[in-house]
Structure 1
Amino acid sequence: MNASRIALVTGANQGLGRALVEGLAARMGPDDLVLLTGRNARRVSEAAHEVVRSPGTRSRVEGRVLDVADADAVSALAGELRDRHGGVDVVISNAIAPLLPERSQAEQADAFIDVSNSATHAVLRSFGPVLRPGGRLIVVASTLGTLGHLDPRLHPLFDCASLDQVEYAVESWRSAVHSRTAEEAGWPRWLNVPSKVAQVAAVRAVAAERRERDLSDDTLIASVCPGMVDTRASRPWFSDYSHAQTPAEAARAVLDLVLAEHVDPALYGELVRFGKALPWYGGTPPTEQDELLTP
């Protein structure tokens, strides 16, 4: 990577995003800059100030307001970093809109898809071109992101697709949710499953186009599964947290991948969990019981 590095984390006010910023700020150098981003100006400012004052912080940390659901805002920030710094070295796309069990999945679909999927597409489109040689562009997903978690009828929408095709599939899914035809077409009732598959498919699409060039200059594009993490977004869905990681613990493996001295070609473009690539065709669709347990 470059001598003076620029890192950016989305959805970084709290939880895993905040822990990723803290970890980067502790492990990067005094000349490096870590940008903590989020939608709420007050929360961004407070979080950045707290990280700056943390005794473990070594690098510079700045808060930046960024609504990742606004593709123009994402593009503008990428352009600014290109013009001011010549690009960016680390981008971690982590923002997510929480799902609430007490509300129907359909009524939460737009906000969830806008942040989890449309924003992922915007980050890949805007920051991919300004990623400096030796850089890292990481999308936080989950083990649900493997293709096998979808009904086989849906596999052609995401397998070996371009980013344009993934975007089209996501919007088709969104329309099916609103027209109440999603289950008939094979889409899982729980939004998180197709959303995560689409995130990983989008990363794979971009990585497929860049693989040879990126590996030649030690650049990594990948998605990651941080494992079960005890956060505000995940707590409503689980009753047993005895095996959950703290955000700081979960951030450690992600940052080991981000800050590794060299890129492992076996991980390029893949969904990575604790340093190992998960099989793209792995997983099984949710069972009827799983669906019934999902509001």
Structure 2
Amino acid sequence: MNEDAGSRTVALVTGANKGIGRAVAEELAGRGMTVLIGARDRRRGEEAAAALREAGGDVHALVLDVTDPATVQEAAKRVEESHGRLDVLVNNAGITGSGQVAPMDAVDQIPSSVDLEMVRAVFATNVFGVIAVTNAMLPLLRRSPAARIVNVSSHAGSLTLTSDPDGPFSALLPSAAYTPSKAALNALTVQYANELRKDGVLVNAVAPGFVDTDSNAHTGHLTPAQAAAVVVRLATLGEDGPTAGFFSEEGPLPW
């Protein structure tokens, strides 16, 4: 797109100061959108936004901690004051609960011995945070002629894939925190899609794959830019695009 500043598509990406979120923000900005980088840390958000502006993007930082209702409401207020609407929401912010390890290899997530506080913390970000941000931004999204919501999930959120004893996940440790949180996010995606279908808002979940990020100590084999491609595709769907779906770069995934 090459709209002028007043008519640019406005996108918000949560957890976008690094990793997949930053790559998504960069690609959306490269398509001519005004992009808001949601970040818990003001300095890191502003540094990321400044770097993307230097590359030519119309990118701005927005303090947003998805677990803090005050910052969520303040962020929605700022978007309304600055832009009057929101066209794209990418709910990317998420945590593994196990620090810098692949979450499904984490001993501390085994169901029979998991710390319940860890489970609560993971759901607070990966599920409840998505509800908080989506609901705060919905009045602005409803002002868009073609609103899109993309929830960044994981292959681990597929009950079909994770329950297959002969599948690629069978050798990994069971997870009582991260994996169930992504399954819950998938279910939530369908419910939002069902509610918002009549308004023309398309809502989908995406599994970007095993990506080289801080959350897995950079053991992933995909670059953030590669992972961002499917997120951006769902964020820029045409009016005949799918809703209530779960996708990877290869296509639809089983629930």
Say whether the fold is shared (TM-score over 0.5). yes
Q: Which residue of 2 aligns with 1:274?
A: 249
The separation in 1 between residues aligned to 2:250 and 2:80, in whole angstroms, is 30
Confirm or deny that 1:69 pairs with 2:67: yes
Aligned with 1:134: secondary structure?
coil
Q: Which residue of 1 aligns with 2:124?
A: 114
Confirm or deny that 1:33 pairs with 2:34: yes
Confirm or deny that 1:211 pairs with 2:197: yes
**Shift in CA distance, 62/257, structure 1 to aligned 2, threshold 3 Å:** same
Shift of 1:84: 4.0
Task: Look up the equivalent residue of 1:116 and give its one-letter code.
Answer: N
- Any gaps of 5 or more consecutive residues in structure 2? 110-114, 164-173
Q: Percent identity?
A: 34
Q: Which residue of 2 aligns with 1:229?
A: 211
Contact 1:226–1:251 at 8 Å: present in 2 too? yes
Contact 2:12–2:38 at 8 Å: present in 1 too? yes
Shift of 1:271: 1.2
Aligned with 1:81: secondary structure?
helix
Aligned with 1:92: secondary structure?
strand
Q: Which residue of 2 aligns with 1:166?
A: none
Shift of 1:103: 7.8
How big is each residue's C-alpha offset from its partner over 1:147-178, in whole Å with a ceiling of 9 and x where there is no partner? 44688xxxxxxxxxxxxxxxxxxxxxxxxxxx
- Which of the numbers 21, 46, 54 marks the counterpart of 2:25? 21
Contact 2:150–2:234 at 8 Å: present in 1 too? no
Aligned with 2:67: secondary structure?
coil
- Any gaps of 5 or more consecutive residues in structure 1? 152-187, 281-295
The separation in 2 between residues aligned to 1:148 and 1:72, in whole angstroms, is 37
The separation in 2 between residues aligned to 1:279 and 1:189, in whole angstroms, is 19
Confirm or deny that 1:135 pairs with 2:121: no
Shift of 1:91: 0.8
Q: Which residue of 2 aligns with 1:85?
A: 83
Contact 1:149–1:193 at 8 Å: present in 2 too? no
Q: Which residue of 2 aligns with 1:42?
A: 43
Map 1:104-183 onto structure 2 (within 5 A): 104-105=108-109, 106=115, 108-131=118-141, 132-148=144-160
Contact 1:221–1:269 at 8 Å: present in 2 too? yes
Task: Look up the equivalent residue of 2:140 and give its one-letter code.
Answer: V
Shift of 1:118: 1.2
Q: Which residue of 2 aligns with 1:252?
A: 229
Q: Which residue of 1 aligns with 2:186?
A: 200
TM-score of the superposed pair, with normalisation by structure 1: 0.69
Shift of 1:44: 1.0
How big is each residue's C-alpha offset from its partner over 1:3-23, in whole Å with a ceiling of 9 and x where there is no partner? 322111110111101111111
Q: Which residue of 2 aligns with 1:9?
A: 13
Q: Which residue of 1 aligns with 2:166?
A: none
**Shift in CA distance, 25/75, structure 1 to aligned 2, threshold 3 Å:** same
The separation in 1 between residues aligned to 2:72 and 2:240, in whole angstroms, is 26
Confirm or deny that 1:191 pairs with 2:201: no
Task: Look up the equivalent residue of 1:22 and give its one-letter code.
Answer: E
